[in-house]
Amino acid sequence: MTQLYDKLLQPTGLKVTQYSMLAHIDLQQAVSISRLGEILLLDQTTVTRNINLLKQYGYVELKRDPQDARTKNIMLTEKGLEKLHEAAPIWQTIQDKIIDDIGVEKYADFFDTLRTMQKIIQSYEEQ
């Protein structure tokens, strides 16, 4: 599935993981690398590698958290917001096609199952 998203997002120059990161950074306004990893269920190495690429492209910037100087927050730049807006219709088209093909109920069930699995995995990590 990732390969399909990557292929269709190719004209934007983004991978689906990078698109997801930009979208979640936009939602959060400012988010730490560790928190972004928690949200996206990605390890810190994967997040850091992709954030460094997005920073290199000028899509994000890192700034120290005013409440905790040890933490760097990721924020979208104007260029990053433009890239997100460029990629969003492609991502939405894929989502709509999947929902059309499998139906709204199965789509919702799939995400309910993912959320349940996420909670179970988190409970294992807390033990």
Domains and CATH numbers, the chain: 2-126 (1.10.10.10)
- C-alpha span between 44 and 36 (Å, rounded): 9
Supply the pLDDT for residue 123.
81
- C-alpha span between 51 and 102 (Å, rounded): 33
Task: Name which of 34, 16, 28, 32 is nearest 88 in CA terms.
Answer: 16
- Say whether pLDDT at 122 is over 80: no
pLDDT digits (tens, 9 = 90+) for 15-62: 999 999 999 999 998 999 999 998 888 888 999 999 999 999 999 999
Give the chain's mean pLDDT. Answer: 92
- C-alpha span between 57 and 100 (Å, rounded): 34
Element (H, E) at 106: helix 104-126
pTM: 0.85
